[in-house]
Amino acid sequence: MYALIKDQATEGLWLRQTKMPTLSADSVLIKVKNTGICGTDVHIWNWDEWAQEKIPLPLIIGHEFCGEVIKTGSNARQFSIGTRVSGEGHIVNMNSRAGRSGRPHLDAFANCVGVTRHGAFAQYIELPASNVVALPDHIDDELAAILDPLGNAVHCALSFDLSGENVLITGAGPIGIMAAAIARHVGADHIVITDISQTRLDIAKKTVSDCVTVNTTTQDLKSIMQTLRISEGFDIGLEMSGSSSAISQMIDSLVQGGKIASLGLPSKMINLKWSSIVTKGLLIKGVYGREIFDTWRKMFNLLEAGLNVKNVISHRLAAHQFEQGFTLLKEGKAAKVILNWN
């Protein structure tokens, strides 16, 4: 089979021919249809500090995918051949402290698809049956390929009650944009999303027409707040950028006692205004992945109830055009790029 592999400790990825995955008694073999390029994949392409620390070489990368079951292990007969599926990318140890206390998403030793074990940027992927998720009919193959990041957005956005609240989102990547759509769906008041990429801000506006977009290279957030009559500050912050300057701006822009759900992954150490966090009495929650599998249930219900995030898909490419997709993302000219493996 062909797969997109990181096998050199330098910038880039390579499409290679490699052996088929080995199927165990408890796993499922999936023929991959579509995959989504994630910010994590860009970190791996760049071979930054985070990637150098986390990624074993060689590795098939990718964790956002959909496909269909073509073979099952002897203990994994709950899935029929041909079933449309996606999958939870965190393979956890249910005997760990987190697993046994009902918080498997916090398992410190989780094995991560496309990060610590072979991933989905390939014609086929093997996954434990316990991580495979059957897809409802109302979710098409393109949307199914981005359920992983949508789950991140659902987990982050629903960390706090957004109804009637003024919400600041820093980072107009796909997860930030989807978080804005969720905030609007659950009844937030003003939704402001910031970024330095006008392309991504335009996609945010297309997805959530009544959100306020702020290009921080040319616009002043404080002035926007005055125009919106957000005099004391935003109630809730959803941090999606991993940018030191964006995080500092969020801290400055929150109301006393404000709350931050932080999902953005910095590529290096950052400095925080810790005194402001203390004196403003801010509550900060780190968000990682999805709350297995409660977030999947909420995500499916939100989509069935009319949540629309399809506009975050800005480009659709064949798998062999992956270099174009990564270039678009690195230049800030794309939101979510779908690679088709058919």
Q: What is the pLDDT of residues 118-152, one digit of tens each?
A: 999 999 999 999 999 999 999 999 999 999 999 99
pLDDT class of 20 with cuts at 50, 70, 90: very high
| Domain shared by 37 and 119, yes or no | yes
43 is annotated as an active-site residue: yes
- Considering the domain boundaries, does residue 48 fall inside one? yes
For residues 34-61, one letter each, b for 16 or more C-beta atoms within 10 angstroms of the residue's C-beta and e for the rest, the string is bbbbbbbbbbbbbbeebbeeebeeebbb
For residues 10-26, one letter each, b for 16 or more C-beta atoms within 10 angstroms of the residue's C-beta and e for the rest, the string is eeebeeeebeebebeee
Task: Specify the DSSP class assigned to residue 7.
Answer: -
In the predicted structure, residue 267 carries a pLDDT above the cut 80: no
| Domain shared by 198 and 111, yes or no | no
| Active-site option among 35, 40, 194, 207 | 40
- Considering the domain boundaries, does residue 264 fall inside one? yes
* Three-class DSSP category at 8: coil
Which CATH number covers residue 197? Answer: 3.40.50.720
| Domain shared by 162 and 262, yes or no | yes
| Sequence-ordered list of residues with C-beta below 8 angstroms from that of 199, at least 6 positions apart, any chain | 332, 333, 334, 335
* Predicted pLDDT of residue 107: 85
Pick the closest to residue 181 from 310, 11, 276 (CA basis).
Answer: 310
Residue ending a domain, choose from 286, 301, 317: 286
* Predicted pLDDT of residue 272: 86
Q: Which two tokens stand for residue 282?
A: 């801010």
* Predicted pLDDT of residue 273: 85
| Sequence-ordered list of residues with C-beta below 8 angstroms from that of 227, at least 6 positions apart, any chain | none
* Predicted pLDDT of residue 95: 80
- Considering the domain boundaries, does residue 304 fall inside one? no
pLDDT class of 100 with cuts at 50, 70, 90: confident
Give me the mean pLDDT over the 96-102 stretch.
83
pLDDT class of 269 with cuts at 50, 70, 90: confident
* Predicted pLDDT of residue 332: 85
Q: Which amino acid is at 91?
A: I
CB hemisphere CA count around 55 (13 angstroms): 31
40 is annotated as an active-site residue: yes
Which CATH number covers residue 45? Answer: 3.90.180.10
Pick the closest to residue 127 from 261, 27, 43, 276 (CA basis).
Answer: 27
User: Could you count the other beta carbons within 10 Å of the beta carbon of residue 80?
Assistant: 10
* Predicted pLDDT of residue 68: 98
The distance in angstroms from the start CA to the end CA of the chain is 12
* Predicted pLDDT of residue 96: 83
| Total count of domains within the chain | 2
| Sequence-ordered list of residues with C-beta below 8 angstroms from that of 217, at least 6 positions apart, any chain | 196
| Domain shared by 174 and 54, yes or no | no
Q: Which two tokens stand for residue 67?
A: 């496909």
User: H or E segment at 280?
Assistant: none
- Considering the domain boundaries, does residue 291 fall inside one? no
Give me the mean pLDDT over the 277-282 stretch.
97
Q: 108 — phi, psi (to 5°)?
A: -70, -15
| Domain shared by 175 and 195, yes or no | yes
| Domain shared by 140 and 16, yes or no | yes
Give me the mean pLDDT over the 237-242 stretch.
96
* Predicted pLDDT of residue 149: 96
| Domain shared by 13 and 134, yes or no | yes
Domain span holding position 244: 152-286
| Domain shared by 177 and 282, yes or no | yes
| Domain shared by 7 and 118, yes or no | yes
| Active-site option among 35, 43, 63, 213 | 43
- Considering the domain boundaries, does residue 222 fall inside one? yes
Q: Identify which has the larger pLDDT, 97 or 248.
A: 248
| Domain shared by 9 and 106, yes or no | yes
- Considering the domain boundaries, does residue 272 fall inside one? yes
Q: Per residue in 175-210, pLDDT tens? A: 999 999 999 999 999 999 999 999 999 999 999 999
* Predicted pLDDT of residue 237: 98
| Domain shared by 269 and 325, yes or no | no
| Domain shared by 49 and 116, yes or no | yes
In the predicted structure, residue 153 carries a pLDDT above the cut 90: yes
- Considering the domain boundaries, does residue 113 fall inside one? yes
pLDDT > 90 in the chain, percent:
89
* Predicted pLDDT of residue 36: 98
In the predicted structure, residue 268 carries a pLDDT above the cut 80: no
For residue 193, the cross-strand partners are 169, 213
Give me the mean pLDDT over the 4-21 stretch.
97
pLDDT class of 4 with cuts at 50, 70, 90: very high
- Considering the domain boundaries, does residue 300 fall inside one? no
Pick the closest to residue 33 from 99, 120, 131, 105 (CA basis).
Answer: 120
Mean per-residue pLDDT of the chain: 95
